[in-house]
Structures are given as structure tokens and as C-alpha cells.
Amino acid sequence: MEAKIAPSMLSSDFANLASEAERMLRCGADWLHMDIMDGHFVPNLTIGAPVIESLRKHTRAYLDCHLMVTNPLDYVEPLGKAGASCFTFHVEASKDNWQELIKRIKSRGMRAGVALKPGTPVEDVYPLIEDENPVEMVLVMTVEPGFGGQKFMPEMMDKVRALRKKYPSLDIEVDGGLGPSTIDVAASAGANCIVAGSSVFGAAEPSQVISLLRKSVEEARGNN
């Protein structure tokens, strides 16, 4: 359950994605968080497999792909070929086919994660964690998915606490409004994978913010 700090590339300069990725790695990032939105599951439209493939040519970084799409199965093959490291789909978009989805994700050499919106009960992901072929990470959305720069929802920490208590070694990711003012509550609840967008990219010294986020997670882990 190591600390993983994942700057959200949605907040980067998309015209210079490769150099922005390299800059984040130099600043101490562990992962690069890639938000893939289809304009249907969420209103916004961002990137897809072609951009992941292009970025992969310029970096060996762990590409943490969050799929906010209606039909995640359609994305498995293209993202596997593009070089995605992790494929996190939404439980709300996969209630009828998640076992097949997880199987295909792993067969393409990617880690499988599941995400849940703020209004989705945490219990909805338990079967996916307890299956004989389980997901390897749960992403708890701490804002409504679809746009960056939203305000952190502290009430979502009840989900993180429930997951950490039930699954002590699980990778638990949080995404939305994370920064210096909100990291302690997320870390103390049990989150170890931290997605941060505007708080990192908008900082004068991104490396200091990344270091602060990591320190909070490590201190919380040491106290538990």
C-alpha cells in the first residue's frame, strides 16, 4: 500500500503533453493520471487511445487511465495496444459485464480498477474486489466526474474508510479537489493513491505540492 501521487494531465497544457509529462516526473510524480471522457457518460470530451499511444512514445511512465465512458469494453483493445498501464472503468457503466471487462483488461497487460461516482454506494464495488479475478484498485470520486477544478467532497471519505477497513491492502485512489488543504483528511481515511490536478499544475513549485501529498499519505500510513 505505497503512496502513489498521480498528477491529472487534464490540468496540463495539452499542446505540450509530452514535456508536461516529463516535467511531472521530474517533480516526483509516481503515475500520470489520464482522464478519458466520451461526452456521453459525462458531458465533457477529452482524449482517447490515439493520444495515449502518442504519449507512450515519449514516456515510460505509469499511465493511470480513468475511463468515464458509457461502453468501457470498446476501449480495452485500443488502450491495451496504446500502452495504458491501468484501465479504471466506472461500476455504473459495467453492472452487467464487469467480469468479462476485468478479464479482458488483464489479458491486455493492464491493471484493472473500478471507479464510483459520489452518489453510488460503496457496496456496489465489493463484488468486484472479492471476485476470483478481482480489480486491483478502487477509485473513489471526491467530485462529480467530468470536469477539473471542482470542490472536494469530504463526505466521500466514509467510502474510503469503509474500503480500507474491509480491504487493508487494497490500492484506494481519490480524485477531485485534492491538494494541500484536503490531503490530510483523505490520507487519514486510508487513501494511498492521490490524483491532483489544478493544485499541482497551478502551483509555483509543483514538486513541493507532490512532496507534501506524499508525506501526508506516508505519515497517515505510519500511524495506522
- Residue numbers belonging to the annotated binding site: 8, 33, 35, 66, 146-149, 175, 177, 197-198
Q: Which residues pair with 8 in a beta bridge?
A: 33
5: helix, strand or coil: strand
Binding residue positions for substrate? 8, 66, 146-149, 177, 197-198
Give the residue ranges of the annotated binding site for a divalent metal cation.
Answer: 33, 35, 66, 175
Helix (H, G, I), strand (E, B) or coil at 91: helix
Catalytic hit among 38, 64, 171, 175: 175
Cell triple for 90: 466506472
Q: What is the Cα–Cα distance from 106 to 82, expressed in whole angstroms?
A: 14
Sequential DSSP letters for 68-98: E-S-THHHHHHHHHHT-SEEEEEGGG-TTTH
Cβ(79)–Cβ(65) below 8 Å:
yes
Query: Catalytic annotation on 158?
Result: no
Active site residue 35: yes
In three-state form (DSSP H/G/I as H, E/B as E, the rest C), the secondary structure along 50-64 is HHHHHHHCCCCCEEE
Residue of 119, 125, 142 lying closest to 193 (CA atoms): 142
Question: Which of 30, 35, 38, 171 is the catalytic position?
Answer: 35
Query: 138 forms bridges with which residues in the sheet?
Result: 114, 172
Between CA 40 and CA 171 the distance in angstroms is 28
Q: Which residues are catalytic?
A: 35, 175
